[in-house]
Amino acid sequence: MSVWREAGLVAGKDLRIESRSRVALAQILPFGLIVVLLFAFALDPDRGILARVAPGLFWVAVLLASLLAIGRAFSVEEQHNARDGLRLAGLDGAAIFLGKAAAIVLELLALEVVLGAGVVLLYDVDVHGVGVLILTALAATIGLAATGTLYGVLAAGFRSRETLLPLLLLPVLAPVMLGATRAFEDGLEGVPGDAWPWVALLGIFAGLYTAIGVLAFGALWEET
Amino acid sequence: MREKDRLLDPWLSRVFGWASIVSIVVLALFGLWGAPEDATQKEAQRLMYLHVPAAWLAYLAFGVTALASALFLWPRTRSLVWDRIAGASAELGVLFTALTLVLGSLWGRPVWGVWWAWDARLVTTAVLFFLYLGYLALRRIPGEPIGSAKRNAIAALIAFVDVPIVHFSVEWWRTLHQKATVFNPQLDAHIDGVMALTLWIGVIAFTILYVYLLDRRYRLASLEDEMEEREIAAAIEARIGAPDPVEVGR
Amino acid sequence: MPLVVRLRSVVCLLGRFPALAGVDLDVAAGEILLLTGPNGAGKTTLLRLIAGLVPMRSGEAEVFGADLSVDRRTARAQLALVGHETFCYDDLTVRENLRFITRAAGSPAEPDATIDRLGLRAVADLTHRRLSAGQRRRLALGTALVRDPRLLLLDEPHAGLDAEGRTVLHEIVAAAPGEGRTVVMASHELDLARALATREVRVDSGRTRLAEPARAAATETA
């Protein structure tokens, strides 16, 4: 069976579990919204800062929520030792990587739509350059999910995984944070032309870490 | 095959040890007296002679960790020697990275009035610091030797790949803002002769120190591994030597 | 007779503890091998090793002719393990869990045959979370059977099964040689297991000792 079909199988499995358990919907999404709210408490809506820093705050909220989403993607495999079953099932490591990452991408994109709406409403942001925003979000999210899936499997087997994952993942995502925020700023300020180089950077990052994931995930998956 | 338990022969190790002491003393002399005082920055500028070599080493050590990790993963050169080198280099690296950041801060404050400057080099070094911490946290988790080493090696390489991307994106970010770069580490060609010389002495001194410490840390790691091997072998012996159980009657 | 499993001086560590301290084992095709021994002897580890789930520290291990230290996929494609856990997802139904495994193995078939054979038709569309312990044990058997394995590894399969479940288990194991399967089973239910086994090996302190062949001869007639 081709890698893509196997990946589709894994992604389908993860998404079906999510549609039944509703963890992303009922827990991770509210978490993201709470973070958005907390920023408002921290930065005092009356001072007019929020709208200006909205892109950055949005991506910080997404980043933090993604930690939960990635952790969840792997804790699902710990139920009843499902990970051993998955290993025995004979699926290619690259396929498991692509499948899990794809499921995370879809969940995060849905999350970003809702969080984005929340930010726009709560911080009073004028929205322009939607095309740039969408492409940026796509590229950034793919990079985020690929890197996250890679580090997720790295941290998965350990008891300290909940504290290990953020420490490992967040520094590596600095360029994504930078690029996504700058691109969003440019888009919202009405200068989308400035954003394209950042989107390209995000795309390169996404491609690079997807390639690394395809190569390395299998080995890491066996070791944990 | 007996794997190496040290990187430098004993006599060579002693040479490096003495050389590092001597070269650091020379650095101190040049740094504190030999090099002229900077016109604008006064005495504080002398911190550069520590800061820049420390930064050099922070990145060198990371490069060594990445290279050693790659060599471990490559089947032809797979050997736990590389894993130990990667770990030892990372420990030294995180120290030098912390030193770089602290010195940069101490230098920046009296000269430019800020504890921190958002330029590409400093920010990348800060990210490097956290990458190190993550890698070392991962190494601390016990597990099956070859499996853990593979995992650590992959982690090191994934992080290594990120560093140039971070540097590039931060630099781009900062040049887009019209503010002139606050931080000017004076690494350009028009450094005064003695200053440049002192800088080179610093780089050489720190590198010698790094090699010496790397060897010592490697030896420690080798001894730790050997001890663990002996414990395991003893445990296996104990199990093999266990008395035959009394067969329960049927 | 071709050897399905061939282990020589296998040492296997769990952390620093030598769970297997020098195991020799041959399993021929069509055998029903019973592993006996006290708790902590290494039976579970031995089964997991054969399944390629734990790495070897030293020794030789060949399953279906493939060297486990180099290639675990060949072996895994032809074997199935029934462990203490079901390897299933709480939020998927019995059918969905089995279907996932079947698809992963490359087969487009529906798992209905296995569901029927294990008597799980009544709960086929219940999520794993809602199954009783006995039903889960049957599902565990199902996850193995649905892959149509040449080698069936069973770790304490009787534990948690009700009488009806045990009947199903017996039927499956007894039918195995006829279906071209080899079975390696670790069990404490000696009376029940011995009725099925063609050979018995005792595992103790991480090593294997052969048990009386006379027992084997007695069951041959069954």
pLDDT tens digits, residue range C163-205?
888 999 999 999 999 999 999 999 988 888 888 899 999 888 8
Closest partner CB to B236 (pick from C21, C38, C202) = C21
Task: Report helix, strand or coil for A193.
Answer: helix
pLDDT greater than 90 at residue B177? no
Residues 6 or more apart from C124 whose CB is under 8 A from it? Answer: C93, C94, C95, C115
Look at residue A194 and tell me whether its pLDDT is greater than 90.
no
Say whether A16 and C77 touch across the interface (CB within 8 A).
no
Put simply, the answer to whether A175 touches B147 (Cβ < 8 Å) is no
A119-123, B144-148, C133-137: least confidently modelled range: B144-148
pTM for the model: 0.90
Which positions ≥6 away from C153 have C-beta within 8 Å?
Answer: C47, C50, C51, C79, C80, C81, C82, C144, C184, C185
Measured in angstroms, the CA of B242 and the nearest CA of chain C are apart by 7
Is the predicted pLDDT of residue C69 greater than 70, yes or no?
yes
d(CA C165, CA B32): 84
- Rounded to a whole number of angstroms, the distance from the CA of A96 to the nearest CA of chain C is 11
- Check: CB of residue C141 under 8 Å from CB of residue C172: yes
Task: Write the CB contacts of A66 (distance below 8 Å, at least 6 apart in sequence).
Answer: A104, A108, A144, A145, A148
For residue B191, what pLDDT is reported? 63
Q: Answer yes or no: is pLDDT of C220 > 80.
A: no
Q: What's residue B190's pLDDT? A: 57
Could you tell me the two tokens for C157? Answer: 């399969």
Residue B137: CB atoms within 10 Å: 16
Q: Which of A171, A197, A208 sits opposite B127 (nearest CB)?
A: A171
User: How far is C182 from C199, CA to CA, in rounded Å?
Assistant: 12
Mutation target among B148, B150, B229, B236 for the C interface, most CBs of C within 10 A: B236
pLDDT value, residue A224: 64
> Does C40 lie at the interface with B, CB-CB under 8 angstroms?
no
Q: What integer pLDDT is reported at residue B249 of this predicted model?
A: 38
Instruction: Give me the mean pLDDT over the C45-58 stretch.
Output: 91
Mention every residue, 6+ apart, whose C-beta is less than 8 A from residue B221. Answer: B84, B87, B88
Taking Cα atoms as reference points, which of A185, A193, A69, A202 lies closest to residue A135?
A202
Residue (of B127, A21, A81) closest to C143 by Cα position: A81
Q: Is A22 on the interface with C (CB under 8 A)?
A: no
DSSP single-letter state for residue C161: -
Q: How many residues does chain A have?
A: 224
pLDDT of B179 over the 80 cut: no
A170 close contact with B: CB closer than 8 A = yes
Chain A positions touching B173 (Cβ under 8 A) are 178, 182
Q: Which of A147, A168, A169 to mutate to test the interface with B (most CBs of B within 10 A)?
A: A168
For residue range A145-159, list pLDDT tens digits in order: 999 999 999 998 788
The candidate with the shortest Cα–Cα distance to B64, out of B130, B162, B160, is: B160
* Contact status, residue A166 vs residue A71, Cβ threshold 8 Å: no
Residue bearing the bigger pLDDT, A47 or C119: C119
Measured between CB atoms, which of B146, B232, B244 is closest to C18? Answer: B232
Nearest residue, CB atoms, B142 vs list C15, C17, C21: C15
Distance from CA of A159 to the nearest CA of B (A): 10
Of the candidates C77, C91, C128, the beta carbon closest to that of A90 is on C77
Q: Mean per-residue pLDDT for A161-178? A: 94
CB contact under 8 A, A16 and C91: yes
Predicted confidence (pLDDT) at residue C4 exceeds the cutoff of 60: yes
Q: Which long-range contacts (CB under 8 A, 24 or more apart) does A111-117 make?
A: A111/A24, A111/A28, A111/A29, A111/A32, A111/A62, A111/A65, A111/A69, A112/A58, A112/A62, A112/A137, A112/A141, A114/A29, A114/A32, A114/A33, A115/A29, A115/A32, A115/A33, A115/A36, A115/A58, A115/A61, A115/A62, A115/A65, A116/A58
pLDDT in tens, A23-44: 889 999 999 999 999 998 888 7
Give the pLDDT of residue C218: 36
